[in-house]
Amino acid sequence: MIESLRERLNERPEGLSKAKENGAKVVGYFCPYIPVEMIHAAGLIPIRLMFGGEGEAAEAGEQYLGPGSCPYARACLGYRALGENPYYSSIDALCVASTCDSMKRVQDYWQYYFKVPVFSIGIPRTYDRFRMRPHALVYLEKEFELLRDRLESWSGTRITEKRLKASIRLYNSIRLRMREIYEPSADGSPKIGWSDAFEISEMGFLLPPSEFLAEIQRIHERLHSTGTAKEKAERGARPADGNKPRLMIYGSNVCLGDRKVIDIIERAGGNIVADAVCTGSKFWRKDVSTGGNPVKALAERYISNINCPFMMDMGRRISYVAKVARENRVDGLIYYNLRYCESYRGELRLFEEALKKEMKIPLLLIETEYSPSDVGTITTKVEAFLEMIRGV
């Protein structure tokens, strides 16, 4: 069902190269707090730089951040330094959200060593449990206004209210279709396997938004078309996975190419049915209001969509993870932590206690980096975790 998307992704580097030859500019971003609609409205090509899993790129980034830094942050520098990844090599400018300390340094090094213009925005750290604090929203709105001005000046294109609202409507349509792809059927069986849904999500960060929307609309139509069970299976819908333990993955960003832990879980007999990571379903959660001031609407959506651990109000994150776990009838949570990512690691104990108390489900910490050296250890831990869930 997603073969057409894979073909488009294979063709994407060549398409980017041709677009740049015709004068297009490519803007990279790492974090889900960057308002991609604003980049698109400026006539620029937004590309989310979320590749990972390759030890060589992480090692190449050590000359900047050192070996004790998050492997994803190191890879963000290593891919550009190596010059072998066409997406990182195509970047003309970078938008960076000031989140964790490692990512703050990433923006400095891209600007200083790679001579790439960097447009940075500050992100509030404060939250109210039921609604963001007013001063936080005002702050982010001002940051987005500054970003708009800088993108206009750099691109030479005015980001008018009309252009910005058109981009908002386009990305809202994408978010709607992605939520439908991730949504389980009424009986709890997946409309499409989580692994495929997650792959679709990753491709959405790299493909042109209008083309991506057309592809996921086609997938949506096939998933909801009538037919026999056999015909639906042939179209790509998967039956429920029997007695396999239903798992959810939460934690550090799981990047394109970072399949080690996912593959181990699937080989061991686990069935990942949901996630709460910023490269997966969490990214597509909320729409942007199309009424009123579009910059304010963007600020409201981005501050309330993803509550990252560099922010306060851990209870809000726990509540969200528990909600997704209940909706997907999860048997256990995989807490994925990239080594040296202290933002997520620092919350582990409270997450574990809350899930045991509220939902009676166990949690497994998997702390790793972009190296195959711990495959055996992780496999043993996952197998023991699944046996515990099964009651073996």
Percent of the chain with pLDDT over 90: 73
Residue 361's identity, in one-letter code, is I
> DSSP characters for 45-83?
EEEE--B---HHHHHHTHHHH-TTS-HHHHHHHHHHHHT
What are the beta bridge partners of residue 55?
Answer: none
Chain mean position to CA 325: 18
- Domains (ranges, CATH) in the chain? 23-156 (3.40.50.11890), 169-189+241-390 (3.40.50.11900)
365 close to 348: Cβ distance less than 8 angstroms: yes
CB atoms within 10 A of CB 284: 21
User: pLDDT tens digits for the chain (392 residues)?
Assistant: 899 999 999 999 999 999 999 999 999 999 999 999 999 999 999 999 999 999 999 999 999 998 889 999 999 999 999 999 999 999 999 999 988 888 889 999 999 999 999 999 999 887 665 555 678 889 999 999 999 999 999 999 999 999 999 999 999 999 999 999 988 766 555 678 999 999 999 999 999 999 999 999 999 888 877 554 545 555 444 444 668 999 999 999 999 999 999 999 999 999 999 999 999 999 999 999 998 999 999 999 998 887 888 888 888 888 889 999 999 999 999 999 999 988 889 889 988 998 888 888 999 999 999 999 999 999 999 999 999 999 84
Phi/psi of residue 190, nearest 5 degrees: -75, 140
What is the pLDDT at residue 235? 47
